[in-house]
Amino acid sequence: MAIVEKVIEAPPQQVFDVLADGWTYSDWVVGTAHMRDVDDAWPRVGTQLHHRAGPWPFSLQDASTVLACEPPRRLVLRAGLWPAGEAIVSFTLEPVGDGATRVRLGEDFAAGPLRWIRNKANDLVLHLRNRETLNRLSDIATRQKG
């Protein structure tokens, strides 16, 4: 599993509030081009985000499903991108000092062709993508301060 972490200068609930707003995912998840719909009870276990990923006109429609949700500490998703496959994505939030949060983003391919073609180059791209994803999450979470 590829794991990236970042300390965000916002308390865990404030960071989790961004994770809990499914409509913002295309703003901070690198590769998500458009949010088509968000289930009303998001992020309750079993609910879904309906998205497009990749550049137009080659973008793919799929959905991501909540596997675990423990506000404001943890969110685990099964992110679909068929026919390429699906990944298990986990966000773990831990308070750090006064008003900051260490966010760990873990991602591992769970099914499909992407699971079988893993190599060091793919791992590097995934690491860089997830680092940028956390940078964008940080920008949104810290902008919501006050």
Contact 4, 127 (CB under 8 A): yes
Percent of the chain exceeding pLDDT 70 equals: 88
Question: What is the rounded CA–CA span in Å between residue 136 and residue 8?
Answer: 10
**CATH superfamily, domain at 2-144:** START domain (3.30.530.20)
For residue 132, which of 35, 29, 1 has the smallest C-alpha distance?
29
What are the tokens at 61? 């429609």
> Model pTM?
0.89
Q: How confident is the model at residue 26, as a pLDDT?
A: 94
Cα dihedral sign, 58-88-77-24: negative
Q: What is the pLDDT of residues 78-96, one digit of tens each?
A: 998 756 678 899 999 999 9
pLDDT digits (tens, 9 = 90+) for 24-65: 999 999 988 899 999 999 999 999 999 988 777 878 889 999
pLDDT at 122: 62
